[in-house]
Structure 1
Amino acid sequence: MKIVDLQVVRFRVPAYNGFNVAGHQHPVSGRWSEEALIRIVTDEGAEGVYVSSQRHFEPTDKFPFERLPDLSAGGGREGSFQVNSSSWDVLLKTVRPHLIGEDPFCRERIWRKLSGLQRSFPKLTDRILAMIDLTLWDLAGKVSKLPVYKLLGGHREKVKAYASTMVGDHYKGGLSTPEEYADFAEACKKQGYKAFKLHTWMDEVWTPSTIMATPDPLRDVEACRAVRERVGGDIVLMLDPYHTYSRQQALTIGRELEKLNYYWLEEPMNEYSVSSYAWLSEQLDIPVIGPESHAGKIYARTEWVIHKAADILRAGVMGVGGLTPFMKIVHLAEAFGIPLEAHSPGVGTLHAIASMSIPGEYYERGLLHPFLNYDVTPPWLNEMVDPMDEEGFISVPQGPGLGVDINYDYIERQRIIEE
């Protein structure tokens, strides 16, 4: 079997989440954005597909911004439009020539081949590598008529979820005060979540005399304390604060979290300073988890293990270039007896966690906000990939391949045609 084509179908999607100038997600006025269906086609008719996004937010009754017109008829495309076409150009112009003629089951060879191109093609990101890798895993699962997690070894069929918030904001009724974090944590607990993670404020205020433009770490602690007091001791709590605190600021936060019985502290300092994390892990009893944003795939995480920089290892399927490299990191953690927690939601993450025989205890469900409803089926899918049951568990898709039920009619209606 040989690959004969890589296809990218671009389509419009409604969106109510966007990024601020610092790159953090917040609720925004309704706009049209762009996603893609990626298809790898073989000479024997077998195909693998991957949809670049599997989550969608709808406004709650608290949403204060402008909404899109009624989309039930497939019209109303006016409004701002976020284009991601540069990623799709990389797929077609850089990746596609290296796929044609390859055996689609030789995922390791293909991944090595493509990852080697990153040195000369910086626009070939780890996320793009991951989309190709997941498409190939989907193809393998469909040919074998098995879900991907069973091809990976298979270990469990349900995974505990935690609610992961957006970062702190200045919206009244949003996440602007410790009390609002507590309100939202209480609502998530009532929904069935058994664990809750705060992303606190990321504000940087620069003046002519600024030395370090960090938020106030004591405000983070106040929010963490308000949440613990509101939800009680029977729910697991985590914190992912501003990412460039000093050593002393991170230590202060960590010691306060220990008093509040928090489960982990995530990325409070620059992750390229591995020695700082080794120092912090040594100082604290609360587990330090990382790295999340440190580039370098398995190589960076090996350095973290060797230098004892984290008590819980961190990696994301989309952040390290796919399932193929992610499972190498799983086995690295297993060999050293270190838990590994997966970063970010998505169908690839679900299959990865379900195949792990070490913790991975949780699936990160988010990013969540009081203004947005996560529990809706994206219009380009026929069902959610990660619906949560009343006990706070996510069931792994059991269909062949990745098990994503795609609404091809919607994609065709909203398809973007190149002119």
Structure 2
Amino acid sequence: MKITTVEARNIHYISTMVRDGEGHSHPGKAHDAYLPFLSITCDDGTVGYAIGGRMDVHTLQHIVGPALIGEDPFMREQIWQRMRTWQRLHPSFTDRTLNALDLALWDICGKACGQPVYKLLGGYRDKVPSYASIMVGDTIPGGLDSPQAYADFAVKLVEQGYTAIKLHTWMPPLIPKPDPKLDIKACRAVREAVGPEIELMLDPYHDYSRQEAYYLAKELEALDFLWLEEPMDENSIASYQWLQSKTKLALCGPETAAGKTQNRAMWITSNAADLGRAGTEDMGGITAVMKSVHLYEAFGMSVELHGGTIGNLHVLGAMGIPGKYYERGMLHPLLDYETPKPWFTRLYDPMDREGMVAIPQEPGLGWNLNMEYIQDNLL
């Protein structure tokens, strides 16, 4: 089995999401948008796909793609290690782009074997509890414009079946300055609205000072939050060591720090966090995340996965250690998460009334792609 074709293109669609200056998503006016799409075809006709994830189409088509022609897609580790070294001199070859390549290869192998990817990874569970990941705060009437708006939305999420909720609070540029006291007002309003049985987490502004992060941690302790994510610059492991030593609240990280598994090893041995953090888009694919899963297992730690990606869902199905939750979202009062995007025939992560998400059982990743829509809108 050999790779014969690598094609990376964009899909045109109409979006009602916009990104602010820092890259956070919010509801917005309808506008033209473009979604990256990768397909890798083998000589037996098997095709692997990756879609979205802010991969770099030009890099995949013109730099990475030609190097894959003639390769055996089952040699995933060899290909991943080779491509990892290419990142050094190709700055456009980001971990998100490496992730797309890795996902498509896993999709091929699952289809060729007639098995879902999580079973190829070892297989541990076929469903996982999810938490509602609320979008970053905004100033939109009817949106997330106040602590009470967060509380009202949280109640609706619990009614849908969620047993855990994570808040992303207000961040520049929509507010002039991050405000930990405003963050806590939203956290307190949500706790009062949903009661003590719902597990709550906070993912706030990512560049607070030590004292601001300490204030958040101590207030969240009193509110019985489950964890706090990356409240400070993740390049400062010493700051996380300092905060971890001063709070009983679990700290979760690193999330977006560069360095893949090697950096997470530094966080573990530095006692910088209580819970590990990893994700396929942040680290370069399923192959990379599984390395970190086994690293955390060796140190007796759990690892929570960042983002509601199909790759993370398969990793969660294969993990013999907690990750406790699948991150489902991003969710917003003015957006409909439950209707599939037009490039999908159905959701890959539907949730039942108990807050559980099933791991896709189709051979490969289980994208459920609407190929007619995709072909009609490829650029």
Query: Shorter-normalised TM-score: what interval?
Result: over 0.9
Q: What is residue 48 of structure 1 aligned with on the other side? A: 48
The match for 2:238 among 275, 281, 287 is 275
Q: Contact 1:38–1:49 (CA<8 Å) still a contact in 2? A: yes
Q: Contact 2:22–2:173 (CA<8 Å) still a contact in 1? A: no
Q: TM-score, normalised by structure 2?
A: 0.97
1:335 aligns with 2:304: no
Matches within 5 A, 1:223-372: 223-372=186-335
Q: What is residue 91 of structure 2 aligned with on the other side? A: 122
CA distance in 2, matches of 1:18, 1:385: 23
1:408 aligns with 2:377: no
Matches within 5 A, 1:182-197: 182-197=151-166
Deviation per residue, 1:118-142 (Å, 9 max, x gap): 1100000101100010000000001
Q: Contact 1:204–1:215 (CA<8 Å) still a contact in 2? A: no
1:179 aligns with 2:148: yes
Q: What is residue 58 of structure 1 aligned with on the other side? A: none
Q: Contact 1:178–1:224 (CA<8 Å) still a contact in 2? A: yes
Is the partner of 2:228 in helix, strand or coil? strand
The match for 2:184 among 221, 233, 248 is 221
CA distance in 1, matches of 2:46, 2:337: 33
CA distance in 1, matches of 2:22, 2:80: 31
- Structure 1: runs of 5 or more not aligned: 54-83, 207-212
CA distance in 2, matches of 1:21, 1:9: 25
Q: What is residue 3 of structure 2 aligned with on the other side? A: 3
Could you tell me which amino acid in structure 2 is paired with residue 392 of structure 1? G
Q: TM-score, normalised by structure 1?
A: 0.88
Q: What is residue 209 of structure 1 aligned with on the other side? A: none
Deviation per residue, 1:191-248 (Å, 9 max, x gap): 1110011111113699xxxxxx742211111111110001101100000111111111
Cα distance, 1:197–1:205 mapped onto 2, change above 3 Å? closer
Q: What is residue 57 of structure 1 aligned with on the other side? A: none
- Structure 2: runs of 5 or more not aligned: none
CA distance in 2, matches of 1:250, 1:359: 26
Q: What is residue 25 of structure 1 aligned with on the other side? A: 25
Aligned CA RMSD, in angstroms, stands at: 1.5
Percent identity between matched residues is 47
CA distance in 2, matches of 1:409, 1:402: 19
1:88 aligns with 2:51: no
Q: Contact 1:16–1:27 (CA<8 Å) still a contact in 2? A: yes
CA distance in 1, matches of 2:348, 2:285: 18
The match for 1:136 among 102, 105, 114 is 105
Q: What is residue 81 of structure 1 aligned with on the other side? A: none
Deviation at 1:17, TM superposition (A): 1.3
Larger Rg: 1
CA distance in 2, matches of 1:297, 1:114: 14
Is the partner of 2:33 in helix, strand or coil? strand
Q: What is residue 348 of structure 2 aligned with on the other side? A: 385
Is the partner of 1:17 in helix, strand or coil? strand
Deviation at 1:326, TM superposition (A): 0.5
1:39 aligns with 2:39: yes
Is the partner of 1:353 in helix, strand or coil? helix
Q: Contact 1:346–1:385 (CA<8 Å) still a contact in 2? A: no
